[in-house]
């Protein structure tokens, strides 16, 4: 899989991909993440990528031309399944959306900044809009990193334990059960006995019951889907 991220602040995307699981996924060749600096696609003297809003109002608007130049160049190199604009009023990122995106081959994630992008970008250049939540960030970079992380960890071979992503919260309409590790007792607080029993069927049943109990208590909204 390939994910190309278009941004006017590329340095914001340095660290999310240079550690741990996302770093290993790239080293193993399971994903290529390309970060593209919009300024390099600005044909004006000062390489500016934003301008004042027509009609006035506070805040700068990202210009269409550098974005179009960048998307056109990327599209000349390969075919993209989706060109996604990160936007607070977009489709909400959920586990099913991440699952769906993880089956794609090439994705572009476009990060806005300031007041956002010229509306004509949204009308003509992109195929989809995704929000990571009902709040406003100062830029799309962190949101793009969230989408990329949620998608990349689902790619076969990225997680060491192949079944791990399947047992995470939301995959089966339930949140994950509690987890414990050594020591079995700490300050008198004991790990549930069943987990130490070695009895696989009983452990599986316990995990399911805990998941169900937790979902009912914390997230009854997702339980309705079952």
By CB under 6 A, name the binding residues for ligand SAH. Answer: 86-89, 111-113, 115-116, 131-133, 135-137, 139-140, 143
Whichever of 151 and 158 has its CB closer to ligand SAH, that residue is 151
Nearer CB in complex with ligand SAH: 139/173 = 139
Cis amide prior to 34 (ω within 30 degrees): no
Instruction: In whole angstroms, give the CA distance from residue 81 to residue 107.
Output: 6
**CB of residue 71 to ligand SAH, shortest distance in Å:** 15
Phi-psi region for residue 82, left (φ > 0), alpha (ψ -120 to 50) or beta? beta
CB-based contacts of 204, cutoff 8 Å, min separation 6? none
Q: For residues 138 and 205, which CB has a smaller minimum distance to ligand SAH in the complex?
A: 138
d(CA 25, CA 1) in angstroms, rounded, equals 10
Query: Shortest distance, CB of residue 16 to ligand SAH, whole angstroms?
Result: 15
CA 208 to each of CA 44, 201, 203: distance values in angstroms, whole numbers, following the listed order: 59, 11, 9
Taking the CB of residue 39, how many other CB atoms lie within 10 A of it?
15
- Nearer of residues 140 and 177 to ligand SAH, judged by Cβ: 140
Q: How far is the CB of 133 from ligand SAH (least distance, A)?
A: 5
Minimum distance, C-beta of residue 49 to ligand SAH, in the bound complex (Å)? 12
Closer CB to ligand SAH, 55 or 156, in the complex = 55
Quote the least distance from Cβ 145 to ligand SAH, whole Å: 11
């Amino acid at each position: 899989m390939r994910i190309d991220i278009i941004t006017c602040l590329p340095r914001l995307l340095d660290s999310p991909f240079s550690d741990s699981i996302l770093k290993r996924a790239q080293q193993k060749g399971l994903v290529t993440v390309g970060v593209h600096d919009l300024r390099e696609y600005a044909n004006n003297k000062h390489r500016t990528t934003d301008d004042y809003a027509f009609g006035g109002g506070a805040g700068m608007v990202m210009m269409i031309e550098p974005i179009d130049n960048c998307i056109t160049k990327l599209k000349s190199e390969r075919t993209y399944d989706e060109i996604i604009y990160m936007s607070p009023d977009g489709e909400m990122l959920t586990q099913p959306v991440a699952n769906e995106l993880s089956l794609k081959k090439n994705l572009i994630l476009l990060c806005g900044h300031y007041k956002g992008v010229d509306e004509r970008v949204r009308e003509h250049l992109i195929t989809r809009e995704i929000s990571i939540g009902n709040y406003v960030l100062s830029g799309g970079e962190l949101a793009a990193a969230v989408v990329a992380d949620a998608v990349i960890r689902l790619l076969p071979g990225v997680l060491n334990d192949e079944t791990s992503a399947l047992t995470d919260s939301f995959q089966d309409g339930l949140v994950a059960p509690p987890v414990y590790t050594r020591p079995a007792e700490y300050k008198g607080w004991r790990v549930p006995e069943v987990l130490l029993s070695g009895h696989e069927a009983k452990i599986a049943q316990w995990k399911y019951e805990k998941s169900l109990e937790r979902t009912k208590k914390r997230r009854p909204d997702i339980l309705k889907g079952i």
